[in-house]
Amino acid sequence: MTTRTGLQGLGALAAACALITLAACGSDDDSSAPTTPAPAPAPPAETALAGDCATLTGLATAGMTLTAATVEAGTVVAGNTLPAHCVLRGRMNERTGADGQPYAIGFELRLPRSWNGRFMFQGGGGNDGFVANALGAVAGLNTSALGQGFAVVSTDAGHQGGNARFGLDPQARIDHAYNSYDVVTTTAKDLIQRAYGRGPDRSYFVGCSGGGRQAMLFPQRFPQHFDGIAATAPAMKVAREASVASVWNVITHTAIAPVDAGGARILSQAYSNADLKLVADAVVQRCDALDGAVDGMVHANPSACGFDPAVLQCTGAKAADCLSAEQVGALKKDFGGPRNSAGQPLYASWPWDAGIAGPDWRNWRLGTSTTAVPNARNATLIAADAMRYEFFTPPDPTFDYMAFNFDTDPARMDAYAAIYHTTSTDVGAFRNRGGKMLLVHGLGDPIFSANDTIDYYQRLQAAQGGAEATRGFARLYLVPGMNHCANSGGPATDQYDALAALVQWVEQGTAPDRIVARAGAATPWPGRTRPLCPYPQQARYDGAGDVEKAESFSCR
């Protein structure tokens, strides 16, 4: 197996674009006319796996260790009822890193006894560092891909352990940025070819957050690998801009938080849950009717809402039905996005959305710690871990993120962002071979702004021949109320099947003009359905029919 092993020093990261594909580092302008691929043939009859699972260990190549296990039909794993299949677990490129720690690219490939000819790469997230069960049961899928007969692969992205200390090793950084996903895709397809006697007919990548970033790698860097990608809440700028925003909101809300007996501020208590519900209710009151139905949900384009939290400011002392001037000021500063001392924006602004009252919004922005040691994920996962060890070049393990300098410190992330970010609109090669991109983002996402994904999609339209040409291969769906990824607990219809829509688009040529989504049991409207509409359309009530049902709404 050939792998990319260059860029062995941290200083080389700044020049990394010299070693990656033109699709990743070329101009965003792609004026070549899209080609129309031939209609996709119907999937062939299902193919049986050759031999028993134990014999599959003989498929290992040089530099790979491979183990196999058998899973019987009807076995339930993580709530998913699975067909009979083989589980291959492998490790490649084992080595000792520059930090003296052991490294390898680990993966799990699940091969159904009766295979439908489709392959899915299951995206990871966070710092990665572990091999998840390759069930194809990620956010945005109603049924596991494995349960439907797909072969499914997952990876630890080239390092082991859930923290970002692997960033001390230059090659581990490169593996996490892009190399491991290319290597694992190529390896999985090779194993599938030899296990079934033929390769995949169609290949898909589905992921959220870090997995959404990974999905976007392929149209930009490796357009030959996948026929369709579904990216939810993509972490496309987490190595710089989104991390700057994380530090910005932690500092902003800590500054107004109550203090403990020693005078240290308690971030989680900057706002009570009742305070956040005040904001959510005020957003709904202001913007709910814009979609034609007063139903507790805001479906309008986020720029149309025009909400200002100043309407909640107390005229006197802080009370249960209003916010203090400090709370209002901090919210406006946070939602406006980070800026340097010259007032220049360092990341996108955030849409006002009822998802601010969702539990996942608190988990990321404020946390629940009752002490001055915060447990907000923006502090623990991003500021105190990934930024210090992986995103800074060189790493700075003792960096005090509360003293972040918004004029000078963002530049410390430029070198790694050059190879980690997935912001290129140069996806012509992917488009021209018939590839499809399905992007989804919750308007109440607390870690990656939906406004930034809207900006990416608008740039994609400009680079790929305009709005109508882009709709032919890439669509964006905004989910009101949804926090970070599907089923994250916000007041939203955030249960939907991105893979089913993607397969139909790729294999039948039927573009997803609407994706029906359902509200979960923890929402105020269990079972409610709504259409997710391709941007810039929004779901609007038809004026008649049950407001609890998607068929009463049109995308307009």
Catalytic annotation, residues: 209, 445, 484
Task: Please enumerate in sequence order all residues whose Cβ is within 8 A of that of 230, keeping only pairs 6 or more positions apart, or say none.
Answer: 140, 204, 205, 206, 207, 215, 438, 439, 440, 498, 499, 501, 502
Q: Looking at this protein, which amino acid is placed at residue 168?
A: L
The torsion angles phi and psi of 472, rounded to 5 degrees, stand at: -70, -20
Q: Residue 277: CA atoms inside 13 Å, Cβ hemisphere, count?
A: 7
* Residue pair 108/131 in contact by the 8 Å Cβ criterion: yes
The two structure tokens encoding residue 375: 């447990």
DSSP state of 339: B
DSSP, collapsed to helix, strand or coil, labels residue 476 as strand
Q: Comparing C-alpha atoms, which of 501, 481, 519 is closest to residue 439?
A: 501
Q: How far apart are CA 334 and CA 331, in angstroms?
A: 5
- What's the CA gap between 22 and 442, in Å, rounded? 31
Query: Is the preceding peptide bond at 345 cis, omega within 30 degrees of 0?
Result: no
- Amino acid symbol at 44: P
Strands 474-479 and 436-442: parallel
By DSSP bridging, strand 118-122 and strand 202-208 are parallel
C-beta separation of 406 from 345 below 8 A: no
**Residue 164 and residue 286: Cα distance in Å, rounded?**
42
